[in-house]
Structure 1
Amino acid sequence: MTTVPYIKPLQSGRTDAASVVQIGGDWTLPHYAILEPQITELRGRLAPDSNVGWSELGALDTSGAALLLELLGASRLLALTDEAEDLSVSRRALLRSVAQAMLDSREPSVTAKPATWREVLGHIGQSVDIFWQHTVGLLGFLGLVLGSMLAILLRPRRWRMTSLVAHLEQSGLNAVPIVALLTFLVGAVVAFLGATILADFGATLYTVNLVAFSFLREFGVLLSAILIAGRTASAFTAQIGSMKANEEIDAIRTLGLSPIELLVLPRVFALLIALPILTFIAMLSGIIGGAVVCAMALDISPTMYLSILQQGIEARHFWVGIAKAPIFAILIAVIGCMEGFKVTGSAQSVGERTTSSVVQSIFVVILLDALAALFLMEMGW
């Protein structure tokens, strides 16, 4: 039989003795609606040091303990349970648990803020570690691709000619218009800017040498590689990443086939063939762009332009530029395929890895081109 709960003040005035409140009845969930208005009314009038009588308390559950906590406060409730001799062990434990939980939740977690220099050094260390992991992963995947490439070169039956031709069309033939147009415009801009500066020294004729030298050694292969990195490496990552997300690569392995041989090598061979050809087209387009500006703005006829090219530009500049193309092609294809294999299965992961492949490819191409330029200049080549 349940007893209706109540709160009965035994002494309302403040004298030398503290006021006393008697808690009685069953403080349980069914009586929550009865007790809550009384708690709200009494809470503002109850003295902070009021004593509480527990002798008439009936049943008690968590909801009743929460109301007592609201009435008395967590600290006061803990103190009263320590002093109360007419509380059973179980009720005292319940009240203490509720009060202690409230105190713990109110205590803000104090986290010591690390010093700024430690945060900076930590961020630098984390970035270096990530860069090192990327470098090791790239070198490991590059070694795996080169090993697989050497393993099938002498076995024509294992060549994937259909896949090779398809990727060659996609990454090479379809990229010719954009490469030719971009390098033509860049060649025209270089010629115009060079002529503007060289005119102050009366050396306008050397604009031809400037355009030819820059495109044969640097701009032809660099612009082609950057365009392929943004256009083809991203496509490789998206294609392989989608296959990874759809578990098609796991199916390939289940059939006993090698994903490297089936997916990566045709793309690498396609770029090995396409990028040198695109580089040659870029060199021609850039030189033609310079010739157009020279003919229209500098009164240098195409015949004179070709004569200066033949007499003043050595063939070694062409070979320096074209020799970089296979190296860039392997790195761009390997990075694009490697990032595709890193996709975890979501569309967001495909997008992140596609962006990463483009950024890494462009970074590696520009870094190696700069190192090669410094080395070749020091060697006098």
Structure 2
Amino acid sequence: MRRRCEFSADECEGGTRTLALSGPLTVSTVGLLERDLRAAQGSFSAIDLSQVTAIDTVGAWLAYRLADDCQAPIVGASDQAQRLINAVSGDRDDMALTPDRPPVLRRVLDSVGTYVSGSGAGIYAFLGFMGQLILAIGSLIRHPRRFRYKALVHQMELVGVSALGIIGLMSFLVGIVIAQQGAVQLEQFGAEIYTINLTGRISFRELGVLMTAIMVAGRSGSAFAAQIGTMKLTEEVDAMRTIGVSPMEALVVPRVMASTLMMILLGFYASLCAILGGATISTLTLGIPFMTFLIRIQEVVPMHDLYVGLIKAPVFGAIVALSGCYQGMQVEGNSEEVGLRTTIAVVQAIFAVIVLDAFFAVFFTEVGWG
């Protein structure tokens, strides 16, 4: 094979010239060839590639440009050369690949199958994560000096103390809505006084702890996923393992414990704020004195309603923290994964909390705490 590409201009009948290229027409040879072609100015009636021994995309582009400038046809091109010339010229009609789109039913079933398969793998991975957490807790029980008390207190502050304002305001407004809408419906039967029963029982049993769990999932659960996910990307988690520090003990256990413990207090606090909101709107619109509302709450709300809320709260808190920490530990690849995993953590936590709340409602009804 010749080491460089050469050209010759042959005179034809009528005074026209044919440009004949010979040798390899590749990226390593077109540099000198293009310089020589610029020096040999003129117009050609055809570009002959019959003597070209090798060609690549760059050589095909040069041949196409010469033919386009001279408005001349390309002759003698091999099948490979012609395919490359068609590609660089934009003429892809004979190369177009348009795969058949599967029917809608097949695509739906394929998506469902992929989701189910991924769900099974996700459950398996989550169970493995739970096993690691249990082992980490057992290790800390055997070696209590390794437990990071300052990290626990810091997370309790972030999950609980910093959230008092937003959760209190939200619960207060929810209490107003419950009392107002309940009074409108009960007024049809002349039973506005039962607005107190409605507000008290719903606040302690359901909405107080449920709305708090949703707020904690959106606020703290997302923060857990983003913080741990970022540490995974920056290889801080790997560095912790390298120096002998367990990421489960240092990162996950304090967050899970803080969320579990603070949800009990936040749930009770949210219930009280909701009752205060109901008492406020009842005083303004129903004519029920504020203190009368609070005293009546003690009479009409049974103690087991309070216990129901206190039992749900730590379970919801643990679910929120586990979801956030698990998704954070699954981050890998790039920063886009952090946002994706954070979104998944919040959605999964809220979904799990609502499903568990439904199971709790049925369970407590069956045991006589309905």
- TM-score range relative to shorter protein: 0.7 to 0.9
- Matched with 1:147 is 135
Establish whether residue 111 from structure 1 lines up as the match of residue 99 from structure 2: yes
**Do residues 123 (structure 1) and 111 (structure 2) align?**
yes
Q: How far off is 1:5 after superposition?
A: 2.7
CA 1:235 to 1:21, structure 2 compared with 1: closer, same or farther past 3 Å?
closer
| TM alignment of 1:204-283, pairs within 5 A | 204-283=192-271
Distance in 1 (CA, whole Å) between partners of 2:250 and 2:53 is 71
**Structure 1: distance between partners of 2:6 and 2:205:** 97
3-state SS of 1:376 partner:
helix
Asked whether the 8 Å contact 1:36–1:67 carries over to 2, the reply is: no
Q: Distance in 2 between matches of 1:26 and 1:157?
A: 81
Distance 1:269 1:192 in 2: 37
Alpha-carbon spacing, 1:102–1:266, altered in 2? closer, same or farther (3 Å):
same
Give the letter for the 2:204 counterpart.
L
Q: Which moved more, 1:149-158 or 1:121-130?
A: 149-158
Change (3 A) 1:239 1:97: closer
Structure 2: gaps spanning 5 or more residues: 24-29
Match of 1:38, SS state, is: coil
1:113–1:312 Cα change, 3 Å = same
Stretch moving more, 293-302 or 224-233: 293-302
- Once residues 208 and 334 of structure 2 are traced to their aligned partners in structure 1, the CA distance between those partners, rounded to angstroms, is 37
In the alignment, the residues of structure 2 paired with residue 25 and residue 260 of structure 1 have an alpha-carbon distance, to the nearest angstrom, of: 69
Distance 1:32 1:257, change over 3 A: same
Larger Rg belongs to: 1
1:200 aligned partner: 188
Give 5+ residue unaligned stretches, structure 1: 13-19, 47-51, 79-94
Q: Which residue of 2 aligns with 1:158?
A: 146
- Aligned residue for 1:365? 353
CA distance in 2, matches of 1:287, 1:113: 57
- Counterparts of 1:283-322 in structure 2, within 5 Å, are 283-322=271-310
| C-alpha RMSD of matched pairs (Å) | 3.4
* Cα offsets for 1:212-241 (capped at 9, x unmatched): 111111111111111111111122222222
Of 322, 333, 337 in structure 1, the residue corresponding to residue 321 of structure 2 is: 333
2:337 to 325, 344, 349: 349
Aligned equivalent of 1:87: none
In the TM superposition, what is the alpha-carbon distance from 1:337 to its structure 2 partner? 1.3
**Structure 1 counterpart of 2:27:** none
How far 1:344 moved relative to its partner?
A: 2.2
In structure 1, the partner of 2:26 is: none
Matched, 1:179 2:136: no
Residues 101/279 of structure 1: CA separation in 2 closer, same or farther (3 Å cut): same
Distance 1:174 1:72 in 2: 76
C-alpha separation between the residues in 1 aligned to 2:157 and 2:18?
91
Please report how far the alpha carbon of residue 119 of structure 1 lies from its aligned counterpart in structure 2 after TM superposition. Answer: 1.1
User: Which residue is 1:6 aligned to?
Assistant: 9
- 1:15 matched to which residue of 2? none
Whether the 8 Å CA contact 1:244–1:345 is kept in 2: the answer is: no
Match of 1:5, SS state, is: strand
Q: Distance in 2 between matches of 1:226 and 1:201?
A: 34
Look up the SS of the partner of 2:245 in the other structure.
coil
Question: Shift in Å at residue 199 of structure 1?
Answer: 0.5
TM-score by length of 2: 0.80
* CA apart distance, 1:6: 2.8
Q: What displacement does 1:203 show?
A: 1.1
Cα distance change on mapping 1:67 and 1:301 into 2, 3 Å: closer
Cα displacement string for residues 22-73 of structure 1 (whole angstroms, at most 9, x for unaligned residues) = 776979935534788534xx36xx9xxxxx9x8xx8x887559936995445
Greater alpha carbon shift after TM alignment, 322-331 vs 366-375: 366-375
Contact 1:184 1:285 in 2 (8 A): yes
Which letter maps to 1:332? Answer: V
- Counterpart secondary structure, 2:102: coil
Which letter maps to 1:5?
A: S
1: CA distance, partners of 2:222 / 2:148: 22
One-letter amino acid of the counterpart of residue 9, structure 2: Y
Question: Taking every aligned residue pair, what percent have the same amino acid on both sides?
Answer: 35
Matched to 2:63, the amino acid is: A
Q: CA deviation at 1:138?
A: 2.5
Measure how far apart 1:96 and its partner are: 4.6
**Alignment-derived partner of residue 91 in structure 1:** none
Q: In the superposition, relative to structure 1, how do residues 21 and 222 fare at CA in structure 2: closer, same or farther (>3 Å)?
A: same
Query: Aligned ranges for residues 5-84 of structure 1 at < 5 Å?
Result: 5-10=8-13, 29=33, 32-33=37-38, 38-39=43-44, 42=45, 62=55, 66=63, 70=67, 71-73=72-74, 77=76
- Give the partner amino acid of 2:99: T
2:82 counterpart residue number:
99
d(CA) in 1 for partners of 2:20, 2:154: 87
Displacement of 1:380 in angstroms is 4.0
For the structure 1 residues 185 and 35, does the alpha-carbon distance in structure 2 shift closer, same or farther, using more than 3 Å as the test?
same
Stretch moving more, 215-224 or 339-348: 339-348
Distance 2:132 2:21 in 1: 79
Q: Distance in 2 between matches of 1:138 and 1:61?
A: 56
Please, which moves more after superposition, 174-183 or 240-249? 240-249
